[in-house]
Amino acid sequence: MKRFNRNSNDHQMLSIPGKDDFPRPSETKCGSNLMKMMGIFVACLMALSVLFSVSVILRDPPSDGIWAVSEHRVLEDKSLKVIGSEDGDSSQQVEVPKDILLGGLLSDGFDERSCFSRYQSALYRIESGHKPSSYLISRLRNYEALHKRCGPHTDSYNKTLEKLKSGQHGGVSDCNYVVWISFSGLGNRILTLASAFLYALLTNRVLLVDRGVDMDDLFCEPIPEVSWLLPSDFPITSQFNSLHKKSRRRYGYMLKNGILTNSSGSVMPPFVYLHLTHDYDDHDKLFFCDQDQTSLEKVPWLIMKSDNYFIPSLFLIPSFEQELSNLFPEKEKVFHFLGRYLFHPTNPVWGLVMRYYQAYLAKADEKIGIQIRVFDTGIGPFQHVLDQILACTMKENLLPLVNLREPIMNPSGNQKTVAVLMTSLNAGYFEHVRNLYWEHPTMTGEVIAVYQPSHEEFQQTEKQTHNRKAWAEMYLLSLTDKLVTSSWSTFGYVAQGLGGLKPWILYKPENRTAPDPPCFRDISMEPCFHAPPFYDCKKKVGADTGNLVPHVRHCEDMSWGLKLVDHTKDL
């Protein structure tokens, strides 16, 4: 029987047979001393065989093929997790069902072998208690039906595509679309794609995803039976690189120059380019106004490019307000649910995640993630950043103090083990923290092990192997129990959202000096919208959009940014 011990994080434990597991020799004349000795000898051989199997499993992380077969059997066994007794006695563990469909968030209509992470990821997370609303589940199933009816190469898709090819003006269509252009770094792409999906859900459109250089290599298909990837023969794919802030196809440009208006009687083109990147202008930002949304309803094809998590501003559009409230009664869990629904690592990436997790993190009593992004120019590591990391983790009791006077610690045999997963482009921070806890005992007796999967030195956005590692590391961080992230980092936002974690965020250093205090506990697991519009659509004047509704507030790591919160405590 496979067992999954949530307390020890051993995800493939084999129970060692005890004396009651073997048949006892008969007490009749067949139960001679010889027979007893033979029984004991056989029992020892069986026990040694099991011990050898355990040593092999724990010594060598399984290959993709072995892991796939093993985990597939777990799903056939109804995906069991194990809860141990309070004293950690595994002999009193009780098997209970594991919620691999995440409370109904995921559809149970996929071939498990095509994407192991979709259902296996639940086996590696402590259940957070975050449950999607029944309305969100219902809308996702409705969206899946819409995507199946209107997806690539369906009759409705082909019919609407003809309008685009012929240049016909917009109007009522059976199916309307949002085409998301792959743009910017991986963290930005994940956040903007989630934003585009929610917009499609709100406007009853089908989302189609530009493959870019590696989208299909990194993420499994999230919609059953039909692809979300834009077909390679899409007629204007070659124009994507020419769509930017100076493009005449831009919605803001056409408004500014009177080519179209946001009035209800305006004739709309077959497609409109939505420029929602950090350098968009005031006319582009009118996208977030109700009147403009009404006009855009008549455009069958919306082509979108963004490097921002713009969901907080969708919550400021009155016509979306009630629908968003029904979808997300708890506002700070928007990306948590959308991310868990949309973003499943492909099998090659999942192999990276699981091999590293099994080898270094699985058996720790506690897992701490530390994500470091440094925006300073020059070659690191920087002393002020290292000082800030140590000050934050020790002051917040995430990591223990070390004993610099006593080099020897008498092991008690039951010390708490803590695995620290650090991610950074530079290896210097990891090396210092690792050596600190290797060379000195902790004051409170914990055993600290520090790991860093990769150190790529600089960001390589267009490199496939680089992005595979980056996606694997984001996912590994999301599997930790506590998380420390860097200000302004979309890499950290993705990890905290997928993991349902409220991180400690390192303040952005100024003048190469460690801030005091070094970090703060975030009030929400939601990402920050870095470049929101400052405009009141009703009054048509500039306004602080962080003060319009109580659930959209300014970010603490970027004072002009916006984020979703569930309360206003400590604001």
Domain range list for the chain:
3-124, 134-342, 359-522
Question: pLDDT-derived band of residue 184, with 50, 70 and 90 as boundaries?
Answer: very high
Question: pLDDT-derived band of residue 414, with 50, 70 and 90 as boundaries?
Answer: confident
State the DSSP H helix or E strand holding residue 521, giving kind and residue range, or none if neither.
strand 519-521
More confident residue, 360 or 22: 360
Integer Cα distance of 570 and 565 in angstroms:
12
**pLDDT for res 12:** 33
pLDDT digits (tens, 9 = 90+) for 373-388: 998 777 779 999 999 9
Integer Cα distance of 476 and 353 in angstroms:
6
311: tokens are: 């969901």
More confident residue, 166 or 48: 166
**pLDDT for res 386:** 96
Integer Cα distance of 195 and 338 in angstroms:
9
Note whether 105 and 139 are within 8 A (CB). no
Question: pLDDT-derived band of residue 492, with 50, 70 and 90 as boundaries?
Answer: very high
**pLDDT for res 68:** 37
Question: pLDDT-derived band of residue 270, with 50, 70 and 90 as boundaries?
Answer: confident
- Structure-token match 């470091």, residue found: 372
Three-state DSSP state, 488 = coil
Residue 25 has pLDDT above 50, yes or no: no
**pLDDT for res 466:** 84
**pLDDT for res 461:** 59
Question: pLDDT-derived band of residue 429, with 50, 70 and 90 as boundaries?
Answer: very high
Closest C-alpha among 429, 461, 435 to residue 448: 435
Q: Mean pLDDT: which of 31-35, 166-170, 293-297, 412-416 is highest? A: 293-297
Return the number of other C-beta atoms located less than 10 Å from residue 78's C-beta.
Answer: 10
Report which residue type is found at 72. Answer: H
**pLDDT for res 458:** 55
Three-state DSSP state, 364 = coil
Instruction: State the average pLDDT over residues 286-306.
Output: 94
Question: pLDDT-derived band of residue 91, with 50, 70 and 90 as boundaries?
Answer: very low
Task: Determine what percent of the chain is predicted with pLDDT higher than 90.
Answer: 67
Question: pLDDT-derived band of residue 57, with 50, 70 and 90 as boundaries?
Answer: very low
pLDDT digits (tens, 9 = 90+) for 518-562: 999 999 999 999 999 999 998 889 999 999 999 999 999 999 999
Task: Determine what percent of the chain is predicted with pLDDT higher than 70.
Answer: 78
In the beta sheet, which residues pair with residue 179? 208, 303
Question: pLDDT-derived band of residue 23, with 50, 70 and 90 as boundaries?
Answer: very low
Can you give the pTM of this predicted structure?
0.82
The CATH number that domain 359-522 falls under is 3.40.50
Report which residue type is found at 380. Answer: G
Return the number of other C-beta atoms located less than 10 Å from residue 233's C-beta.
Answer: 9
**pLDDT for res 409:** 64
Q: How far is CA 20 from CA 16, 23, 95, in A?
A: 11, 7, 21
Q: What is the biggest distance separating any 2 CA atoms in the chain, rounded to whole angstroms?
A: 105
Least confident of 34-38, 141-145, 311-315, 389-393: 34-38
Question: pLDDT-derived band of residue 42, with 50, 70 and 90 as boundaries?
Answer: very low
Q: What share of the chain is helix, strand, coil (3-state, %, to 5)?
A: 40, 15, 45
Integer Cα distance of 448 and 438 in angstroms:
8
- Structure-token match 């995440």, residue found: 102
Note whether 269 and 260 are within 8 A (CB). yes
Residue 463 has pLDDT above 80, yes or no: no
Count of residues for the chain? Answer: 571
